[in-house]
Amino acid sequence: MNRITGENIANLYHRSAAVVDLACIRHNLRAVRKKAPARKIIAMVKANAYGHGLVRVAEHLASEGVDYLAPPLSKRP
């Protein structure tokens, strides 16, 4: 097991990646449709954190026939 030290912590950030796989999103959407075939589907499209591709994901969901796209709602005092 590698220990995290001040010398190697910067390397951890360079090895991290988030992959948004549109084929997986399509698969998950089809699974939801199979479980609830007569229901409308609202896809929550969250913020574009770290450049994950909010617009591309939203366009993909729309092209797959999602009924609604919605931002998450947060309560703020």
Average pLDDT over residues 52-72: 90
Of the pLDDT bands very low, low, confident and very high (cuts 50, 70, 90), residue 24 is: very high
Mean pLDDT rounded to a whole number for the chain: 82
Domain contains 9 = no
The DSSP bridge pattern shows strands 68-70 and 42-44 to be: parallel
**Total tally of structural domains belonging to the chain:** 1
Of the pLDDT bands very low, low, confident and very high (cuts 50, 70, 90), residue 50 is: low
Tell me, what amino acid is at 60?
Answer: H
User: What share of the chain has pLDDT > 90, as a percent?
Assistant: 45
pTM to 2 decimal places: 0.69
pLDDT at 64: 95
Domain ranges, residue 26: 22-70
CA dist 23 and 21 (Å) reads: 5
